Amino acid sequence: PSALSIRGLTKVYNNGFRALEHINLEVRQGDFFGLLGPNGAGKSTTLGIVSSLVNKSEGEVRIFGHDIATDLEQAKRYLGVVPQEFNFNMFEKVEDVLITQAGYYGIPANEARDAVEYYLKALGLWDKRREQSRMLSGGMKRRLMIARALVHDPMLLILDEPTAGVDIELRRSMWTFLTKVNDDGKTIILTTHYLEEAEALCRNIAIIDKGRILQNASKHELLGQL
Ligand code: ADP
Ligand code: ADP
């Protein structure tokens, strides 16, 4: 099955605002997929529904074949999510943020150790592992969010504007890291409003605006049209 399959997805918020109108998207296993569009286009709403933080109004979402409406527990095992806002426990130590997360997936601390060490080192947070997470800089918190999303070894990583407000140097090192995660076999979907970010990272890109998919093609096809 596809890593992600979205059919006829519509979102009407409680105030009546129609944020998504019948979206279709298919993301193949192994892809690095970008959902590109301006602020307010519906990117976070889409990822919010996929990660079941937001309720959909209509349509179907499958993660590796598992329908999130009927088979959410299975679907969630495949998924690691990096939301835009920091939402970890600021008083927990950096390494404990990861160990707690692994625990949510039934992975005991002693079995999580290797993954915790690997991701903290890969993201330059190893020296900070005993610090409370509130002591980290903004860029470090963002990297901690990424490590947390990966600690249970999900097959699909989704990131909502992962480099928004991040300086150019950190942005480039995050690009390098994410490219390696994809090369190692994980499917990645990210939202961005930076064309250059989609261009640097993504193999396939969908352009969304006002809740509708305007284009959906390989990067090369899309850039050829610009
Ligand atoms: P749902 O339809 O998923 O139940 P709601 O319409 O109840 O969601 O809104 C969820 C939350 O988002 C509310 O706390 C609301 O205040 C907030 N919210 C409202 N309008 C906006 C907006 N334009 N952008 C972001 N958040 C909003
Ligand atoms: P993007 O991530 O592309 O910037 P969003 O998915 O956050 O876009 O928002 C899409 C549209 O839905 C925006 O117009 C936003 O104001 C609106 N919106 C988001 N959350 C809510 C909410 N809870 N209630 C009402 N409108 C919302």
Mutate to test the pocket of ligand 2, among 11, 13, 18 (most ligand atoms within 8 A of CB): 13
The ipTM, to two decimals, is 0.81
pTM (2 d.p.): 0.92
CA 2 to the chain's CA centroid: 16
The response to whether residue 104 sits with its C-beta less than 6 Å from ligand 1 reads: no
Confidence band (pLDDT; 50, 70, 90) for 224?
confident
- Give residue 106 CA to ligand 1 midpoint distance, Å: 32
Q: Could you report the per-residue pLDDT of 150-166, keeping only the tens digit for each?
A: 999 999 999 999 998 89
